[in-house]
């Protein structure tokens, strides 16, 4: 019996982003009408892989085959024309349109110039039933009332209407509650059963066990293992990380510990920096029962009852995979700069700090450096939120009024896009393109985020004791920096800690957390899951507390 041609096949595919990250010689294949998982930690290369498959990144080596035909996409428009599309982050909807109008948005079928909305609704109802969501999501419902999970269902319905052959989903389970996870999981499985080929990039091992027929595990851009649900042996892609000698049985039976070993196979922990001789002093930052709520869905807590402490001269880490809430925690602690609201208590040097804005936070001894613009949600013009960069109000204002168009052009590229948009255009602002501001770019250019962190660290180090902050929060300070830039930033951080400032370091890099900190708080879906002494920790033990249920 002839073997069916895979819908998607990668043969030693390599690609590199403007941020200097990428994938190397990745090979696997995906059957038509199946769900294939991409599993990896923060720097695994999964976003770069999806970007390469969807035309956002150019394939530099190897062969990508679509339905048996070698394919080269000149851009994402060509990929979409070929039936390949990617969805990342929170699915977007037009809130004042119905679900049906959102599903068919841009693809309305007019008869003599008129759209028959009754047919639009009936076709949408049939598609929602096909996805197993007919009882939950109604075609006539305003899209603005949908939950995050229901918005993912709308995204899958759009893919059916658009006749996508391959759909790439980046972290579709992030931030969903148990009913939402079930709803999205069923919808993905139903869409695949009807012939769509779906690739899901996620760190949620528990969800992939339920829906994926096969999974490829990435570690730092290399495919370590590809496992089939119904095969007796995984396909080893080759690595030297000592993760084991293959996985016997179906992939669903492979232990979580073994999968974590694959995910960290290429994580290399460099020697620890020489800051352990610093004797931590008294507690300079105490956070108790802190919660922060989503800026749009004000009832959804992104950070949930977090408590932590930082001592004088200590570097403490915040560790979590995408959607864990570490960045939101860092930003919300700084003058409530993120979220619709927050609750809990902050103490700096033993004194309560109830800062309502960044200026009050700085005055109280707590400062922040971030590569994302800190913003406020101001309910202007009938409730339409305008996100204003705290550090840029003066530049955006004209005669006391904020130029909303100027705000968008200046601030939007550096906040809320992330992932594939970030990979292609860098985290710089206006004008950043492939290679602009990228780590390792020709001419040794420095990214806007790296420069921002460097300037903040040098500013604090130049301040006299008594003026220098008691504690600083660093939000992913080395993200996007090349090797030299990373080392220089780490040296500045250690120097700042040695001067007596407490440092709370949010980072996506397991190596950085193990090298730079003495303690790490791990988060999963907004909750602190552990406090870990990193002096005896390993990448595997750290990731195990970040991964959530399996």
Note the pLDDT of residue 265: 94
Residue 333 has pLDDT above 90, yes or no: yes
Note the pLDDT of residue 389: 39
Tokens of residue 16, six digits: 């590199």
- Tens of pLDDT, residues 173-206: 988 889 999 999 999 999 999 999 999 999 999 9
What average pLDDT does the segment 414-436 reach?
A: 33
Residue 446 has pLDDT above 60, yes or no: yes
Note the pLDDT of residue 55: 94
DSSP state of 125: H
Are the CB atoms for 507 and 319 separated by under 8 Å? yes
Tokens of residue 169, six digits: 């989903």
- Tens of pLDDT, residues 370-419: 876 544 333 222 233 333 334 334 444 444 444 444 443 343 333 333 33
Chain mean position to CA 244: 28
Note the pLDDT of residue 299: 86
- Tens of pLDDT, residues 466-494: 899 999 999 999 988 888 888 899 999 99
Helix 483-498 to helix 448-461 angle (10° resolution) is: 20
Beta-carbon count within 10 A of 351 CB: 10
Residue 128 has pLDDT above 90, yes or no: yes
Instruction: Name the nearest CA neighbour of 186 among 159, 215, 156.
Output: 156
Question: 267 versus 273: which is more confidently predicted?
Answer: 267
Tokens of residue 106, six digits: 């841009």
Place of tokens 């930690």: 41
The percentage of residues in the chain with a pLDDT greater than 70, rounded to a whole number, is 79
DSSP state of 411: H
**pTM for the whole thing?**
0.81
Least confident of 80-94, 134-148, 388-402, 415-429: 415-429
């Amino acid at each position: 019996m002839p073997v069916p041609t895979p819908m998607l096949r990668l043969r030693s595919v390599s690609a590199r982003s403007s941020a200097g990250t990428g994938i190397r010689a990745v090979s696997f294949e995906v059957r038509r009408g199946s769900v294939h998982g991409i599993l990896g930690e923060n720097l695994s290369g999964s976003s770069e892989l999806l970007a390469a498959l969807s035309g956002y990144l150019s394939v530099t080596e190897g062969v990508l085959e679509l339905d048996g035909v070698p394919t080269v996409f000149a851009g994402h428009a060509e990929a979409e024309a070929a039936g390949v599309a990617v969805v990342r982050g929170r699915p977007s909807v037009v809130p004042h349109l119905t679900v049906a109008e959102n599903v068919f948005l841009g693809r309305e079928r007019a008869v003599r110039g008129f759209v028959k909305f009754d047919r639009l609704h009936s076709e949408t109802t049939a598609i929602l039933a096909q996805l197993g969501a007919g009882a939950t999501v109604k075609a006539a419902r305003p899209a603005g009332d949908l939950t995050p999970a229901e918005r993912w269902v709308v995204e899958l319905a759009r893919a059916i209407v658009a006749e996508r052959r391959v759909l790439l989903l980046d972290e579709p389970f992030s931030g969903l509650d148990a009913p939402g996870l079930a709803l999205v999981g069923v919808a993905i499985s139903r869409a695949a059963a009807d012939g769509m080929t779906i690739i899901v990039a996620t760190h949620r091992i528990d969800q992939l066990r339920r829906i994926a027929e096969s999974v490829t595990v990435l570690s730092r851009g290399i495919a370590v293992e590809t496992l089939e649900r119904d095969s007796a042996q995984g396909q080893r892609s080759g690595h030297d990380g000592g993760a084991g000698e293959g996985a016997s049985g179906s992939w669903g039976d492979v232990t979580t510990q073994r999968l974590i070993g694959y995910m960290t196979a290429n994580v290399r922990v460099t020697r620890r920096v020489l800051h352990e001789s610093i004797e931590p002093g008294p507690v300079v930052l105490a956070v108790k029962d802190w919660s922060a709520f989503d800026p749009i869905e004000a009832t959804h807590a992104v950070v949930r009852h977090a408590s932590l402490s930082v001592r004088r001269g200590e570097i403490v880490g915040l560790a979590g995979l995408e959607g864990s809430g570490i960045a939101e925690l860092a930003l919300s602690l700084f003058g409530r700069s993120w979220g619709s609201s927050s609750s809990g208590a902050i103490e700096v040097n033993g004194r309560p700090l109830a800062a309502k804005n960044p200026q009050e936070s700085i005055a109280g001894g707590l400062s922040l450096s971030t590569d994302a613009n800190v913003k406020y949600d101001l309910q202007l013009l009938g409730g339409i939120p305008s996100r204003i960069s705290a550090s840029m109000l003066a530049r955006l204002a004209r005669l006391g009024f904020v130029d909303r168009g100027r705000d968008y052009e200046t601030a939007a590229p550096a906040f809320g896009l992330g992932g594939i948009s970030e990979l292609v255009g860098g985290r710089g602002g206006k004008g950043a393109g492939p290679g602009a501001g990228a780590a390792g770019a020709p001419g040794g250019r420095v990214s806007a985020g790296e420069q921002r962190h460097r300037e903040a660290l040098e500013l604090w180090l130049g301040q006299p004791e008594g003026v220098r902050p008691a504690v600083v929060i660093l939000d992913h300070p080395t993200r996007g920096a090349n090797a030299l830039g990373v080392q220089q930033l780490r040296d500045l951080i250690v120097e700042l800690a040695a001067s007596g400032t407490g440092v709370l370091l949010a980072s996506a890099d397991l190596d950085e957390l193990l090298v730079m900190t003495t303690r790490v708080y791990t988060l999963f879906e907004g909750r602190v899951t552990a406090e870990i002494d990193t002096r005896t920790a390993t990448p595997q033990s750290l990731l195990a507390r970040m991964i959530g249920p399996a």
